[in-house]
Each structure stands twice: as structure tokens, then as C-alpha cells.
Structure 1
Amino acid sequence: MSIAKNYLYNVVYQVINLLIPLITVPYVARALGADGVGINAYTNSIMQYFILFGTIGISLYGNRAIAYVRDNKEALSRTFFGILILKFITTGLAYLVFLLFLNNWSNYQSIFLLQSIYILAATIDISWLYMGLEDFKKTVIRNLMVKIVGVACIFIFVHDYGDLWKYVLILALSQLLGNLSLWMYLPKTIQKVKITWNDIKGHFMPSISLFIPQIAIQIYVVMNKIMLGYLANTSEVGLFDSSEKIIKMTLAVVTAMGVVMLPRMANTFAKGEIEKVKNYLYQSFDFASYLSFPMMFGLAGIANEFAPWFFGPGFEKTALLIFSISPILVFIAWSNVLGQQYLMPVGKVKGYTVSVIVGAIINFILNIFLIQYYQSVGAAIATVGAELAVTLVQLYWVRKTIEYHKLFQSMWKYLLSGILMFVVLRLIGSLLGVGPLTTILQVISGILIYFILLFILKSQMNKKLFSLGLQKLRKIS
């Protein structure tokens, strides 16, 4: 399947995972309040650590490992079962550790128990198999059906703060059933093979090599909410989490390319086609910049008029948070290309690891100093600082193999178009005020302005994508 089709499928998959909760956010925010939303975010953040230590980088490693052997069905099947059994063992141990934790933790015990369903969901998750095979269609279709049912259940069963446990249960079960649905395709994908202990343990150390950077990533992705809950309160966690959902939904459109390109890069590198790998990198980086700049300026531009009507009373602060966090759209887009699409597939995991460890340290230090004074805004600033650090370290790490001018040659066009778009969005917002119609007008205006300016500036990426789109339309008609 082509990179473009896989990208579109993965965009759909990533956006579904974030869009489903986003669709319910205005309703859930009003039903559960900032405290209820915060309790869910706080307990889920802690649960992510058990999932992280249970999967020990297996899913990310599995994607790459499958890509290396996908042309040999016997090797593919042996690799799959070896990784799967290892994952069963490690997540089983993680669940036992969770039960010990629960026995010694007094707050939100029932909510934590429901959140533990996510560990079971992670155990049976085999999406890494299909991603390694560059077959994203299956994951999209099956998960879409399960998620739609989950949304319906939220509107039917969640009505007030007392229904918090139902909300947590519905989200967790949706994840579990979505992952379980992928198993129906296994008989056509792999074959039965005899597995030895060596086939299992051989995947442990490579997984650990990717586990270390994932620990660092979780520190500055999840630690924000845990530190907010500890140093501030769960309401601040709810505000930060709601803002982050908006950013992550937008970010999924950009980072979806990373999941698609990792197996393609790994397979190309395995064939020794180094120049082709670099060419993929330059194109991906340019595409990531092309998308991330308008998203950053767009979200920052509409935040003041969007947040109050979307989230409802008590969530007014989310406008400032969305504005503050928006720069990570560019930084993560760049680090996703440099890290997941280049450093990891070509075996330079050390560079990726160093970058995220630096980011985690900076995030932790900034959180300590900023949260106590600025609460959720402090966490937002710390997040931006961490992501900037990760990107700068990765740029330094590839300096000897990658030509910077090829990465940034079109950047000024995206930056200029984004800034001019932002100015127009703020003018529209100031004139029309808060409301859904204002947001709709801002979004439409922003899209038109950005693309028109890029046509005027003769952007090659803009021309290429529109030409491709016109070709597809002609074929359909």
C-alpha cells in the first residue's frame, strides 16, 4: 500500500482515538465538572506508568521488527509470536505490581481498578503487527465501529458527577474491545510456528533499548498531570487535560506520518538504500512543517473565541492554555520526523534516547519551579520547553549526516503565511466575539489565507499536494 494511503488511514486512526473523546468533551465537562475530568486524567496518568513498564517498548520495537522480516512469512510469524508472548509476560507482571500499588493507595481505588482495564487492553494490542506490515486499513475500520458505540454509551449513561465511574469504564472497555477486534485478521496474516524460549527472550533487550526513551517521554507527557495534581489540584489537571486534548487531536494529523514512515524507513535501510532513506527524511520534514505551522498559528489564533463556548463554564482558562501549548505542534512534528522516522529506523537509538532524556529533565525542573506559581499555565510552559529541547538535541545529533538547508529551505514561506493567518484570525475574533459561528469563520478563513499565500509564494509542497489532489479527483470523475 502507498505511503499516501497509509498516511491517510493512520491520520483517521489517530484522529478517531482523540476525536471520540473530543466530541464528548463539551458534554462530559458539563456533566462531571473540572474536578471529575481531573480525577479521570490524574488516575489515568498514573496508570500509564504501569502500561509503560508492562509493554517495555515492545509495541514500538514490534513495528520495526515486523518491518524487517515482513517479506518472509515464517520469519514474520516467529517474530510476531515471540514478541507477543514476551508482552504477555511483562504486562502480566505489571498488573501484579499494580495490584500491590492499589492495596497501598487510599484515594480513588475504584476508579483505579476500572483504569486497570487499560493494562489488559495493552496486553492484547497487536496493532504493531499491522503497522509493521504497512496495513493501516484494518486498525481504522475495526476501531471506528467500537469507538462509535463507546460515544453512544457516554451520552446514554453519563449524566452527572456520580457517573464518573461509568465514564472511565466506557473509555477503558472501548480501548479493550478495539484492540481485541484486530485478532480476527490473524489467521490470514501469520502461520503456526514452533516457538522456543530463545525466540522470546531475543526480543527483550532490543525492546529495552526503546523502553528507556519511552520512560523519558512519559515523564514529560504524563508527569505534568501528576505534578499538577500533587502541587496544585485536580481541577487544574482537568483544565490542562482538556486543553491538551485539542492540541493532541491536531497533532495526530502530523505525527501520523511517523508511524507510517517508520516501517518504510526500516525496510529501506535494511536493503542498504541510505540515500533513499535521506530523501524520505527531507520530504517528511518539509511535509511536517507545511502542516504544523498553520496548525500552531491557527489554534493560537482561535483559542480565545473557541474555548469558552466549547468547554463551557469553569473552563475559561483553557483558552490561555491552548495558546501557550500550541508551539509544541511544530517542535513535536520536527522531532517526530528526526527521531521516529530517522534515528530509530536506522539504528541510532542512542541519539533519540539522549534527546528525550534531556527533554524529561528540563520538563521536570521547569514543572517544579513553574507549577507552584502558575499552576496549569506553568505546566504548559514546561511542556513547550521540553519539546524544544528534544528537537534541538535531535538536530544536533543528525548534523553530520543530514544537510540542514534541505530541511529548512521552505520554512520561511510556512512561517510568514502562518503569521499573516494568525493576524487575520485575531481580527475576526476581536470583531465577532465568542461563539461557534466565529470559530467556523476563523477556521475557513485561516485555511484559505494560508493556502493562497503559499500559492503566491510558490511553495513546492503546496503545488505538489494540490496537483496530487486534482489527479485523484479526475480519476474519480
Structure 2
Amino acid sequence: MPSLKKNVLYQSVYQILVLLAPLVTAPYVSRVLGPEGVGLNSWTFSVAEYFVLVAMLGIANHGARTIARVRGDRERLNREFSDLLFVHVLVSALAVVAYLVFVLAFVEGNRTLFAIQGLWIVAAALDLNWFFSGIEQFGVIVARNTVIKLATIISIFVFVRGPGDLWVYVAILALGALLGQASVWPFVTAHITYRRPVWASAITHIRPLLVLFAPVVAVSFYRITSRVMLGAMTSEAQVGFYANAEKIIGIPLGLIGAFAAVMLPRMSNLVASGNEGDVKRLMSTSFRYVWLVGTALTFGLAGIGLELAPLFFGEDFAATGPLIVGMAVTIPFMAFSSVIRAQCLIPRSLDKKFTASLFCGAIVSVIANLVLIPRLEAVGAVIAIVLAEITVCVVQMISVRDLLPIGQYVRLGAFFLVAGIAMFLSVRGIAAIMESGVAMIVVQIVVGAAVYSTASAVYLWRVKDGVFLEALKRLDRFRGSRTAA
């Protein structure tokens, strides 16, 4: 069985790479394109993203789950992959055609930008991440993205020189995504012998794909729709402030998503084989460590957000600071619900419960956005997303209370909450006595990390956490080998 630790590392690197291009270039792009340019890119992409969701049609979760269940049988793996790929390409082709009709028939302004954003839909048609996730071969995904992401970053600095180059910026990002997805196809033949798809068996995937597409639609209401509603009800600058806050929050969410992506196929395989002992052990460890990481990132970003935004994005984006602080509140709720989703609901095919939780969040989000955006603009959108994520987490906890000791898992976070508050207070104390700038941010990060990691290490040692103690043993052996050398 593939190494779980290596896969977590590979998928974490992959998620960081996905976020790397927009994040590394954000200070430059924000200054060159300004709030309006950043907002216009975010808004046009948000519209195209609806069609990307249709193109993906639940394949990310259902495809990975299906492949994970049959990966031990090469012939079944060949058949399932071929049928899934046939359905995926067919649906994606329909999404591309629908988007072209939309652009030609309904778009009047910024048609060039909308047309370029359509490349993201073509990229979705070529997406095979679900297959490599199912066989737990994440190294391939990381390897192919490294070079492409670096090329994307370099291209932005070279070719985007002013506000008139907005279309160039949009094209570089879209082409990078397209090339990234296309580059993985040559690696598939090492694992798969393609079979001619059989329509009768291929259509059996449509229902579960649609079931898992429903939660994707729900998520879009409080992720994508927030940007769309901001653009429609306020201004492009407000979308720009909100979009840059999302880029910062995207880092911890990417790491959480990486962990969930790795655990989903592993749990699907364990559940299918009836190995409930390992399932319970992994879930308990997962909840403890998502609490540890999620709490650190929440209070860390909340502590430095006000100073980070104008320093990182430029003074024109000072309004992004409070948005970062607000969005940070969503991290622990998303971390907790990601474990429930990836390690309980989807592996056990409890798709209806998963869907119901997200639709509850979507309803809360839409109502809150309609009420708050006209009054509070981007701040209102942030409040709406916080309320939505809390709703999703609570509904999921209620839905699995008969399967999991939810109270026990919630109590695991109590200590980390105290440690996070201590870190936040130390970080804000530094902000009160130091002049704002790079030096202050560095000191805040170092001191905050020291406070939180020290407190957490003491706690993990006292509760005799297996993962932590094993890490200490490996560190001790490494030191011993270095001394002997």
C-alpha cells in the first residue's frame, strides 16, 4: 500500500504549487493591475468557474473513490477508468459548448477576458487528478506542476507590465492550468490499458456523479457566488479586496484540502475491506492534527492580517486586512468538516448527508449575502461565508453523531484553542510596540510560532501522542547518527 506520509507530503506540495503562482505574484499584480484589474479577473473567472464545475460533475470525489475500491484488480481498474473517462470527457465537451454559447449570446463587455477564461473549462476536461488520487500516486501530480507553475510565475513578471496587460495575465494563468492538466496524460499508460467504454456500464456512474455534483453546486453558492454577487451589487474594487483575502486564506485551506484528498482514497479502500480498526485509529489522529494545524493558522493569520495586507498587496489593498482576519475564522470549521467528509461521509457513500450539509450552508450564505453585501460590501460577504462554514460543520456533526464520537473529537480542540489565543495575544502585543513593516511581520511570525509550537509540543508529549513520540524518536536517531559520523 502506498505510503500515507509521503502522499500527504506530495499532495501538500501540490496544493502549495497550485496556490503559488497567484500568491507569489500577488504583490506585483496588485500594484500593476490595481484593485479594479484584480477584481475584473476574479469576477470573469468566477463566471467561467460555474462551467468548470459542470465539466467536473462530481468526478473528483466519485472518481477517486471508485478507483480506490478497484485498484487491486487490474482488469476492473481498466474498465472503471475507461467508463469514467468517457463520461467525464462527454460532460466536459457539453460544458465547453455551453460556455461558448453563453459568451457569444449574452456577454457584451469584456468578451475577450471571458473567452480566455474558457480555457479553464478545457483544462477541466483533461483533468485526471481523480485517477492518480484513487491509486494514491500523488508524486506524478507534483512533478508535472512544478515546472509549469515556475514558468507561469516567470511569465507573469516578464509579460504583465501595466493595466492594459490584464488579458495577458488572464491568458497566462489559464494556459498554465491547461498545460498542467495535459502534461499528466502520458503517465496514465503505465497504470491503465484503455478499454472501449460500454454505454450500459458507463451510465451507472452518472447517478453517483450527479449526487456528488449537488454538493459542488452548493459550495459554489458560498464560494463563487460571493464574488459574483459582490461584482453585481458593489464594485470591481470590492471584488479585488475580497479576492486577495481569499488568496491568503487559500494557503491553509489548500493544506487542509491536501490532507483530505489523500485520506479519501485510503479510507475508501479501508472501508471497502472492512478494516474498521485502522479507520477509527486514523480518524482520531486526523481530528487531533487538523485541530493543531487549523487553530495555528486561524489565530496566526488573524494576528498578522491587518499589517500583512497593505504590506503584501500595497496600500491600495489595506481594506483586505480585516477581510483576512474575518476569513480566518472559517479555517477550523472547514478543517473539522473536511475530516468528516473525506474520512466518513464519502468513503461510506453517505452522499445524501454530505449534500444536505452543503445545501444548508448554501442557503445561509445566499440569504446572508443578499442582506449584508448592500450594507457592508466585502465585509458582508466575509460574514456570510463564516456563517455558511459554521452551518456546514454543525450539520455534518449532527449527521454522523451515531457513527462517530463527535463530542470526543470536539474536545480534542480545547487545548489548541487556548494555545491559539495565547499566540494571538503575543502577536498583537508585538504590533502594539513595533513599527509596521517587514521586520514586525517577521517578529510576529517567529514569536507566535514559538508560543504555539512550544505549548502544543508539551501537550502532545503529556498525552503521549503516537505520531509526536515517533517523530521525537526519529529525531533522536538522526542526531545520534550525525554524532557518530
Q: Which residue of 1 aligns with 2:70?
A: 69
Q: Which residue of 2 aligns with 1:205?
A: 207
Alpha-carbon offset, residue 462 of structure 1: 8.7
Aligned-partner Cα distance in 2 for 1:412–1:464: 19
> 1:17-56 maps to which residues of 2 (within 5 A)?
17-56=18-57
Aligned-partner Cα distance in 2 for 1:302–1:57: 36
Aligned-partner Cα distance in 1 for 2:205–2:61: 12
Aligned-partner Cα distance in 1 for 2:221–2:206: 22
Paired residues of 2:133 and 2:261 also in contact (CA < 8 A)? yes
Q: Which residue of 2 aligns with 1:327?
A: 329
Aligned-partner Cα distance in 2 for 1:293–1:199: 45
Alpha-carbon offset, residue 279 of structure 1: 2.8
1:458–1:56 distance in 2 versus 1, CA, 3 Å:
closer
Number of paired residues?
Answer: 477
Kindly indicate whether residue 61 of structure 2 is the aligned counterpart of residue 60 of structure 1: yes
Q: Which residue of 2 aligns with 1:95?
A: 96
> 1:208-223 maps to which residues of 2 (within 5 A)?
208-223=210-225
Structure 1 unpaired stretches of 5+: none
Aligned-partner Cα distance in 2 for 1:410–1:91: 42
Q: Which residue of 1 aligns with 2:280?
A: 278
Alpha-carbon offset, residue 254 of structure 1: 2.2
Alpha-carbon offset, residue 330 of structure 1: 0.4
Paired residues of 1:331 and 1:391 also in contact (CA < 8 A)? yes
Q: Which residue of 2 aligns with 1:110?
A: 112
Aligned-partner Cα distance in 1 for 2:287–2:458: 22
> 1:167-206 maps to which residues of 2 (within 5 A)?
167-206=169-208
Kindly indicate whether residue 168 of structure 2 is the aligned counterpart of residue 166 of structure 1: yes
Q: Which residue of 2 aligns with 1:2?
A: 3
1:290–1:310 distance in 2 versus 1, CA, 3 Å:
same
Alpha-carbon offset, residue 436 of structure 1: 1.3
Deviations 1:100-132 (A, max 9, x none): 111221121100110000011000110111111
Q: Secondary structure at the match of 1:203?
A: helix
Q: Which residue of 2 aligns with 1:147?
A: 149
Alpha-carbon offset, residue 199 of structure 1: 3.1
Q: Which moved more, 1:448-457 or 1:297-306?
A: 448-457
> 1:236-247 maps to which residues of 2 (within 5 A)?
236-247=238-249
Deviations 1:333-379 (A, max 9, x none): 01101112211111111111110000000000000000001000000
1:102–1:69 distance in 2 versus 1, CA, 3 Å:
same
Q: Which moved more, 1:46-55 or 1:467-476?
A: 467-476
Paired residues of 2:61 and 2:346 also in contact (CA < 8 A)? no
Kindly indicate whether residue 392 of structure 2 is the aligned counterpart of residue 395 of structure 1: no
Give the TM-score taking structure 2 as reference length: 0.95
Paired residues of 1:281 and 1:337 also in contact (CA < 8 A)? yes
Q: State percent identity of aligned pairs.
A: 36
> 1:356-435 maps to which residues of 2 (within 5 A)?
356-435=358-437
1:280–1:465 distance in 2 versus 1, CA, 3 Å:
closer
Deviations 1:52-89 (A, max 9, x none): 11221122211111001000111111111111111111
Paired residues of 2:20 and 2:149 also in contact (CA < 8 A)? no
Structure 2 unpaired stretches of 5+: none
Aligned-partner Cα distance in 1 for 2:197–2:51: 27
Alpha-carbon offset, residue 466 of structure 1: 4.4
Q: Which residue of 2 aligns with 1:445?
A: 447
1:460–1:362 distance in 2 versus 1, CA, 3 Å:
farther
> What code does the residue aligned with 1:74 have?
E
Paired residues of 1:43 and 1:111 also in contact (CA < 8 A)? yes
Alpha carbon RMSD of aligned pairs, Å?
Answer: 1.5
Aligned-partner Cα distance in 2 for 1:471–1:184: 41
Q: Secondary structure at the match of 1:192?
A: coil
Q: Which residue of 2 aligns with 1:255?
A: 257
Q: Secondary structure at the match of 2:317?
A: coil
Alpha-carbon offset, residue 192 of structure 1: 3.4
Aligned-partner Cα distance in 2 for 1:87–1:342: 25
Aligned-partner Cα distance in 1 for 2:278–2:457: 28
Paired residues of 1:82 and 1:195 also in contact (CA < 8 A)? yes
Alpha-carbon offset, residue 413 of structure 1: 1.0
Aligned-partner Cα distance in 2 for 1:156–1:391: 43
Alpha-carbon offset, residue 184 of structure 1: 1.5
Q: Which residue of 2 aligns with 1:310?
A: 312
